[in-house]
Structure 1
Amino acid sequence: MTAGDGLLVRVRPRLGRLTVPQAIGLAKAARSHGNGLIDLTNRAALQLRGVTEQSHAPLLRQLIALGLVDPDPGREARGNVLLTPDSSPGDDTENIALSLIEHLDEMPELPPKIGIAIDAGPAPCLAAVPADFRFERSATGVLLLRMDGRMLGSPTRGENAARDLSALLHWFLATGGAASGRAARHRAPLPTVADVAPAPSRPPSQALAAAAGSFHGIPFGQFHADSLIALAEKGNVCAVRITPWRGLILEGAKEDADNVSIDRLLGMDACPGAPACPQASVATRSLASRLAPLVNGSLHVSGCAKGCARQAPADLVLTGRQGRFDLSRNGPAGSSPELTGMTADQVLAHFGRP
């Protein structure tokens, strides 16, 4: 994709996990072939920023050599899979993921944003994370395959997961799912009986507490390659796991006392803003950082009315328009404002910062 600072190159590590050599290699590639900035997406992928037309091909070669990108573009496109970050070797989440990887060639080509969540822990923790087809657990422990937008799922088994998903994906396409774009918008009758509800969701903090390492928060989900190298080289770190919650799990590391809390990270949303995004007319993250301690509840600072950083309503929303901010409450970006045309200083003064 093209952004204001160059091309974005998305990387989805196998099983959502980077070995230490892979993390360091990816960081060096981001620095050599891009501007060194790395985004964490809400689907637990990495985006390398500032890549040029000339550096794109050598970057891909380096990522393929690191085992982070499939040399077959078709297989890479079909591998849009997200794992719950507290999965462990041999559990259902990882076994299903490995089975899907093994059967990728049998999966059909899907619209670009279609994704699969493997959330087969004791209870779902990825319900608020974008995905179209979900493996989840019922309250009685039954493994389910559920399509986003449907309240109930169909029972399945780990050994049948790839087969059942492949059949559902082929049905999705055969019944016009590509035109719908996302599973939640596709209302055709399901091909199998879906009559089992997933268990009530557990909070992200619970899943992170069960993960095999400490959580390191990344405000707004963006950091520099040098920071990734420093984290990967910390004592006892054996791998880096990507989460959809603007942070990394440092496997083997002890708790970081200076870490940013998951609650604060999830309550704060700001897109890259100007000049990184050509659609934005305002800088966003510097204002969000200064404003966050002054407001209660969720905060969304958007460079334009598209609201890419947060689709859900926020308690306080600032939307960029013609170089200034419109302020609204309890809505998405671009919703009807109560104040318009504010500078960043005026916004801060409105909330009590001189």
Structure 2
Amino acid sequence: MSAPQVKGWCPGAFRPMMSGDGLVVRVRPPLGAISAAQATGLADLAERHGSGVVETTARANLQLRGVSEVAYPALMQDLRALGLLGDADSEARRNLVLDPFRAPGTEEIARGLLEGLSRSEFSGLPGKFGFVIDPGTPRRLAGISGDIRIEGAAGGMILRADGSATGRRLRDSEEAVTQALDLARWFLNSGGVGADGRGRMARHLMGGRGLLPSGLCGDVAPAEPVPAPAPGPRDGGLCAAAAFGQFSAAALRTLAEAGGPIRVTPYRMLYLPDVMIQPDHPDLILDPQDPLRRVQACTGAPGCPQASVTTRDLARRLARRIPDGQIWHISGCAKGCAFPRNADLTLVGRDGAFDLVKQGTPWDDPIRRGLSPLEIDKQIRP
């Protein structure tokens, strides 16, 4: 089996990615939120043009799968009618992850960045280059990938380049926007983007390939992080999850009927800031102790052409034996798209079987190779 192909870019609405079950069309909601009407509309589009589910991603986006090339033009028209499409250029640069619980300054900073990033000088930023807006204390997005980070710290906010342990103190939201754009400009001008169009901040800084100018670095440590939130009531609203981050059209309509805006989180959950009641739908996970919260699994075969194994059926079978507090990861290949970080136990698809990694990532060396699903069911225990 050949090595998994790293695309170097993420699917978008204007640049969908072909997968084993059709096109993957990703929607980047402005300011990371959709209205109840837009949620209902997306549910309708998922059934009309796709596989019937709306997926949440680790970049706080939404995506539809299983879209045929024939249906794609009509889907784009319908997304535009819902107010979820800008132009292709601005959509590609809308790579912001916002604190879903909206610490003060979050949306103000996001609006400023979106306006600044629309300038042509930033058109060369790589497709995966992103900004994390996490200005509160404690930090809620510490585990979320991002190249330029605006984070809470003792006494205020800091700007921190990913790969640096500390950052530069910021006076206010306006300076946060200005300095973040200056850091993006420096990244472009200092050779952060390779000939292939790829580039990430941490890699650029590693080994001294890029040396941050004094005005863009500092010695202020970010605030302590907090664990990712669980489903259920939170901050006056409600966090709703679904198995593997896939919300059925019916479940999404149920959330829309609960009222108010819906914020897309990077935890593969949706947050309803104005809802305290618990919507009733069997596909929704509202219990923080639900066993499916302990397992991560990608699409797997046949939906993903890079996977040689099915993943989610196995994940469902294993979920109830996962100890409290542990995370297990079932990955169709070594890319680890669903959970690109350490898990207590990881099963990685290779040539139709699974390799077993403990306390590691899908690309780490396994302790066992070539396990069949039957062997896993019989032998894998906490």
CA displacement at 1:103 relative to structure 2: 3.0
- Conserved? CA contact 2:109–2:177, under 8 Å: yes
Identity level (%): 43
Which of 197, 204, 207 is the equivalent residue of 1:186? 204
CA displacement at 1:9 relative to structure 2: 0.8
- Whole-Å separation in 2 of the counterparts to 1:262 and 1:139: 33
CA displacement at 1:214 relative to structure 2: 0.7
SS of 2:222's equivalent?
coil
Match of 1:337 in 2: 366
Q: Flag the 1:177–1:125 CA change in 2: closer, same or farther, 3 A.
A: same
Match of 1:57 in 2: 73
Which of 205, 221, 233 is the equivalent residue of 1:197? 221
SS of 1:96's equivalent?
helix
- Conserved? CA contact 1:219–1:260, under 8 Å: no
- Does structure 1 residue 117 correspond to structure 2 residue 132? yes
Q: How does 1:51-90 map to 2 (within 5 A)?
A: 51-70=67-86, 72-87=87-102
Which of 257, 264, 283 is the equivalent residue of 2:310? 283
Match of 1:242 in 2: 264
Normalising by structure 1, report the TM-score.
Answer: 0.91
- Does structure 1 residue 40 correspond to structure 2 residue 79? no
Which of 228, 235, 241 is the equivalent residue of 1:217? 241
- Whole-Å separation in 2 of the counterparts to 1:68 and 1:92: 23
- Does structure 1 residue 302 correspond to structure 2 residue 331? yes
Paired amino acid for 1:200? E
CA displacement at 1:190 relative to structure 2: 1.2
SS of 2:229's equivalent?
helix
Q: Flag the 1:194–1:104 CA change in 2: closer, same or farther, 3 A.
A: same
- Does structure 1 residue 100 correspond to structure 2 residue 113? yes
- Conserved? CA contact 1:215–1:255, under 8 Å: no
Q: Flag the 1:85–1:132 CA change in 2: closer, same or farther, 3 A.
A: same
Q: Flag the 1:182–1:209 CA change in 2: closer, same or farther, 3 A.
A: farther
SS of 1:7's equivalent?
strand
Deviations 1:55-90 (A, max 9, x none): 2222122212212121x21111111111111016xx
Which runs of 5 or more structure 2 residues have no equivalent in the other structure? Answer: 1-16, 280-284
CA displacement at 1:313 relative to structure 2: 2.2
- Conserved? CA contact 2:291–2:320, under 8 Å: no
SS of 1:205's equivalent?
coil
Match of 1:126 in 2: 141
Aligned pairs, number: 347
- Conserved? CA contact 1:219–1:246, under 8 Å: no
CA displacement at 1:340 relative to structure 2: 3.1
The Cα RMSD (Å) is 2.4
- Whole-Å separation in 1 of the counterparts to 2:74 and 2:254: 24
CA displacement at 1:202 relative to structure 2: 2.0
Normalising by structure 2, report the TM-score.
Answer: 0.84
- Does structure 1 residue 274 correspond to structure 2 residue 301? yes
Which runs of 5 or more structure 1 residues have no equivalent in the other structure? Answer: none
- Whole-Å separation in 1 of the counterparts to 2:135 and 2:58: 19
- Conserved? CA contact 1:211–1:249, under 8 Å: no
SS of 2:127's equivalent?
coil
